[in-house]
A and B are shown apart, each in its own frame.
Chain A
Amino acid sequence: MATTKPALADLDLRLGLYRVMVACRRFETRAQELFFEGLVRGTTHLGIGQEAVAAGFAAAMRADDYTFATYRGHNHALARGTPMGPLYGELFGRANGLMGGKGGSMHITSAEHHMMGSYAIVGAHLPIALGAAWSAQYRKSGQVAVCFFGDGTTNIGAFHEALNLAAVWKAPVVFVCENNQYMEYTAIAAVTAVARPAADRASAYGLEPIVVDGNDVDAVHEVAVATLGRARGGDGPSLVEAITYRHGGHSRADPGTYRPADEVSSWLARDPITTYRARLEAVGVDAADLDRIEAEATAKVAAAEAAAREAPEPSPDVIETEVWADGSSRWRN
C-alpha cells in the first residue's frame, strides 16, 4: 500500500490547493442556498467534504489531460478551471450555462477544460475514460485520463470491465474511487464483499492497491503525481481509493439521517479545508493570506451568481439543436 505522508509541496502549490478547495466549498455551499431559493431546480449532488480529491488531482494534471466525473461533479469542473459564471448558469439552466441549459447540475461538461462530462449512469464513464486514454496512447499525445467515481461504482460490471482492459492495454488512465462511505443512501460496507471496495479489487487486475486519505489534499496530490507520472510514462493504469466523507446527504433532498451522529461529527472534525488551513498556518503561512484567498472565493462566487441571475432563460429554439452533426434535430428527416 502506498504511504500517505504529506509531501512538502512548495508554497505556491499549497496555496493553490487551498484556493481550489475553498472555491469549491463556497460555490457549492451557495448553490445549496440557491436551491432553496428555487434558482436551482430538480436536484443537485454536492461534494462538500470531498474537495481535496478534486483539488489534489487537478493540480497534478496537464491542461490537456482528460477528466471524467460523476453527477457529483461540480468540484471536478471547478478544479479543472471551469469558470463559475457558466457553471452557475448551468445550475440555473440559463442561456449562459456551460451547456446552454441542456444539462444542469448533474451533467456538467466543459470540453474546453477537458472536463469530459459528469456521468449520471453509474459506471458508464469508466470504459469511456479508458477509450479516451487509449486514443491518447494511439496518438502518442502523452495525455492521461483521470476517471473519478464513487464507491457504489465498484459493484457494477463496467468498473471491472474497464479495469481489466486498462491493465491489459497498460492504458494511461487513473481510476479514482472517492469512497465517501455511502452509495446513495446505503452504507457501501453493507453491500460489498470486501472492506475496501476499490483497493481490495485491485489485485484481481494485477494492480497495486492504493489507499489515500481523501481528506488530506497533500496526500492526494502526492498520489496523483505518482499515478499520473506512471500513466504518462507508459507504465499503465492505477486504481486509487481515496477515503473521504460526504458532509451532506446523497442529494439536496436527503438530510442523511441514516448516518450515526458520532460518525458525522468525527468526519466534520476532519474537514479537508479547515484541517488544511491549520496545517498551512502551522508551517508559517500568514493567516491574512488565507483570509484573502477565502475573500476572493466569496467575491468570485457572488460575481458568478450575479452573472447567472442576469442571464436570460434559453430560447425554446435551442431544444432541437445539437442532436446531429449538422447541428439540428431534423437531419434530412
Chain B
Amino acid sequence: MALKTFIEAVREGLREEMVRDESVIVLGEDVGKKGGVFLATDGLWTEFGDDRVIDTPLSESQIVGTSIGAAIGGLRPVAEIQFADFIHPAFNQLVSEAARLRYRSNNGYSAPMVVRAPYGGGVHGALYHSQSVEAFYTHVPGLKVVVPSTPYDAKGLLRSSIRDDDPVLFFEHKKMYRSVRGDVPEGEYTVPLGKAQVTHPGTQVTVIAYGLMAHYALEAADRVAEENISVEVVDLRTLRPLDKETVLDSVRKTGKCLIVYEDNRFGGYGAEVAAIIAEEAFDYLDGPVTRIAGPDVPGVPYNHVLEEWFMVNPEKIADGIRKLAAY
C-alpha cells in the first residue's frame, strides 16, 4: 500500500471513477485548468478534457442546479463548492430540489450526484473560509452526508458516493488535505456509506467524532490512556444515514459518551446523536451525554489566538473525557 495525503486520495478516487464511468463529470469554480484551489482536481482536465471537467461561473446555485439537471439526464456529476462556506447560495437547490426529487416524483426520477466541499477551521481562513455546514444538510431527508477522516476512507467513500443513487454531500476538512497521510491501496475498493468505524477500542468512555475531530479524538484517547482511562473512539464517517447500531453498541458497553464536533455547539449534528443515545440507550448510561464543540459565535474568527480558542483540540477533548470518566 502507498502512503498518500488526504487530497491525493480524493483526487485518485475522482480520477478512477471517471475512468470507470464516462457519465461521471466534474464541475465547479476553477476545477479545470487550475485543478481546483486546493488542487483536488489537478490533472483531471488534462486527462479528460473540456467535456468532463468544467470550469463554471462563480455561482453555486447554478453549479448545483445544473448538476441536478444533469443527474436527471443520466450523468453522474461531481460538483465542487470551493469552500463549504460558499454553499449557502445553493441551499435551495440542495434542500428544495435535490433532496426532494425522488419523493416528489414518487420515484419517477432522482438526482444521483455528489457535491464536494472543503470545510473547517484551523487554517486562518476566518469568517468565510472556515465554517462547518454539515448540520444544515443532515437535517434534510433525501440527502446523504459523508465526512471522511482518513485517505483510505476519503477514496473509498467518494467512490461509494459517486455510485450512490441519492444526492450526497461530501465534506472534506481542508486542514487534513496535506497534513493527514495514510495507506491507500492500489485498485478497486469502496467503503460503504452509512457505516461507522470503531477506530480505538476501549471500555470506559465512548467518544464519537468525524472528520478532523476523529483524529483529535484519537490523540485525546492516547493522552488519557496514560491516566488509565480507556476510551472507545467511534468515527462516524457518514452522518446521514447515521450508523446507529455502532454508536449504540459502543455506548451500551461503556455507559458514557462524549460527542465531539467542530461546528457551533447549539443545534449541531452532535445534538441529534445525543438525543438518539438518550432515547435508545438511557438504561445503559452511567453519566450525562456530553459534548465538546465549537463555541456559539457566528464564524471562526481570524486572529490566531481567537481561532485557537474557537477550535476544538485534543486537550479540550481529553478534558471532556476526564470529567466524564470521573462522573
| A residues whose Cβ falls under 8 Å from a Cβ of B | 66, 98-100, 102-103, 107, 109-112, 116-117, 119, 121, 124-136, 138-139, 143, 145, 157-158, 161-162, 164-165, 168, 321-325, 327, 329, 331-333
Query: Across the interface, do B104 and A102 meet the contact criterion of CB distance under 8 Å?
Result: yes
Q: Is B59 part of the contact surface with A, judged by Cβ < 8 Å?
A: yes
Query: Across the interface, do A102 and B69 meet the contact criterion of CB distance under 8 Å?
Result: no
Q: Is B65 part of the contact surface with A, judged by Cβ < 8 Å?
A: yes
Q: Is B142 part of the contact surface with A, judged by Cβ < 8 Å?
A: yes
Query: Across the interface, do B164 and A325 meet the contact criterion of CB distance under 8 Å?
Result: yes
Query: Across the interface, do B103 and A124 meet the contact criterion of CB distance under 8 Å?
Result: no
Query: Across the interface, do B73 and A131 meet the contact criterion of CB distance under 8 Å?
Result: yes
B72 contacts which of A131, A331, A332 (Cβ < 8 Å)?
A131
Task: Return the chain B residue nearest A131 by Cβ.
Answer: B69
Task: Return the chain B residue nearest A145 by Cβ.
Answer: B69
Query: Across the interface, do B68 and A131 meet the contact criterion of CB distance under 8 Å?
Result: yes
Query: How far, in whole Å, are A179 and B94 apart by their CA atoms in the complex?
Result: 28
Shortest distance in angstroms between A324's beta carbon and chain B's nearest beta carbon? 6
Query: Across the interface, do B65 and A112 meet the contact criterion of CB distance under 8 Å?
Result: no
B122: A residues at CB distance < 8 A: none
Q: Is B295 part of the contact surface with A, judged by Cβ < 8 Å?
A: no
Query: Across the interface, do A117 and B104 meet the contact criterion of CB distance under 8 Å?
Result: yes
CB under 8 Å from chain A, chain B span 221-278: 241-244
- With A117-B105, A127-B65, A161-B59 given, can you name 6 additional A-B contacts, CB distance below 8 Å? A99-B105, A131-B77, A134-B69, A139-B74, A161-B57, A333-B242
Shortest distance in angstroms between A3's beta carbon and chain B's nearest beta carbon? 32
Shortest distance in angstroms between B100's beta carbon and chain A's nearest beta carbon? 9
A102: B residues at CB distance < 8 A: 103-104, 106
Query: How far, in whole Å, are A161 and B108 apart by their CA atoms in the complex?
Result: 27
Query: Across the interface, do B194 and A138 meet the contact criterion of CB distance under 8 Å?
Result: no
Query: Across the interface, do B73 and A135 meet the contact criterion of CB distance under 8 Å?
Result: yes
B218: A residues at CB distance < 8 A: none
With A130-B66, A132-B70, A135-B70 as contacts: A322 and B109 at CB distance below 8 Å: no
Shortest distance in angstroms between A320's beta carbon and chain B's nearest beta carbon? 9
A161: B residues at CB distance < 8 A: 57, 59, 61-62, 65
A333: B residues at CB distance < 8 A: 241-242, 244
| B residues whose Cβ falls under 8 Å from a Cβ of A | 25, 51, 56-57, 59, 61-62, 64-75, 77, 92-93, 96-97, 101-110, 112, 141-142, 144, 164-166, 194, 241-244
Query: How far, in whole Å, are A323 and B98 apart by their CA atoms in the complex?
Result: 11
Shortest distance in angstroms between B148's beta carbon and chain A's nearest beta carbon? 17
Shortest distance in angstroms between A86's beta carbon and chain B's nearest beta carbon? 11
B69 contacts which of A103, A121, A135, A168 (Cβ < 8 Å)?
A135
A322: B residues at CB distance < 8 A: 102-103, 106-107
Query: Across the interface, do B51 and A138 meet the contact criterion of CB distance under 8 Å?
Result: yes
Task: Return the chain A residue nearest B93 by Cβ.
Answer: A124
Query: Across the interface, do A325 and B166 meet the contact criterion of CB distance under 8 Å?
Result: yes
Query: Across the interface, do A99 and B106 meet the contact criterion of CB distance under 8 Å?
Result: yes
Query: Across the interface, do A111 and B97 meet the contact criterion of CB distance under 8 Å?
Result: no
Query: Across the interface, do B72 and A325 meet the contact criterion of CB distance under 8 Å?
Result: no
Query: Across the interface, do A325 and B102 meet the contact criterion of CB distance under 8 Å?
Result: yes
A-B contact pairs, 19 of them (CB 8 A): A98-B106, A99-B105, A124-B65, A127-B65, A129-B69, A131-B73, A134-B73, A134-B75, A138-B75, A139-B74, A145-B69, A157-B59, A161-B65, A322-B103, A322-B107, A323-B103, A324-B142, A331-B241, A332-B194
A111: B residues at CB distance < 8 A: 105, 108-109
Query: Across the interface, do A121 and B194 meet the contact criterion of CB distance under 8 Å?
Result: no
Query: How far, in whole Å, are A124 and B106 apart by their CA atoms in the complex?
Result: 20
Shortest distance in angstroms between A251's beta carbon and chain B's nearest beta carbon? 19
Shortest distance in angstroms between B73's beta carbon and chain A's nearest beta carbon? 3
Task: Return the chain B residue nearest A97 by Cβ.
Answer: B106
**Most chain-A CB neighbours within 10 Å: which of B66, B75, B110?**
B66
Task: Return the chain A residue nearest B193 by Cβ.
Answer: A332
Query: How far, in whole Å, are A332 and B96 apart by their CA atoms in the complex?
Result: 23
With A331-B241, A332-B241, A333-B241 as contacts: A131 and B65 at CB distance below 8 Å: yes
A132: B residues at CB distance < 8 A: 69-70, 72-73
Query: Across the interface, do A128 and B166 meet the contact criterion of CB distance under 8 Å?
Result: no
Query: Across the interface, do A138 and B25 meet the contact criterion of CB distance under 8 Å?
Result: yes
With A139-B74, A325-B102, A327-B107 as contacts: A127 and B194 at CB distance below 8 Å: no
With A164-B57, A325-B164, A332-B241 as contacts: A128 and B69 at CB distance below 8 Å: yes
Query: Across the interface, do B92 and A134 meet the contact criterion of CB distance under 8 Å?
Result: no
Task: Return the chain A residue nearest B238 by Cβ.
Answer: A332
Shortest distance in angstroms between B191's beta carbon and chain A's nearest beta carbon? 14
Query: Across the interface, do A157 and B72 meet the contact criterion of CB distance under 8 Å?
Result: no
Query: Across the interface, do B106 and A100 meet the contact criterion of CB distance under 8 Å?
Result: yes
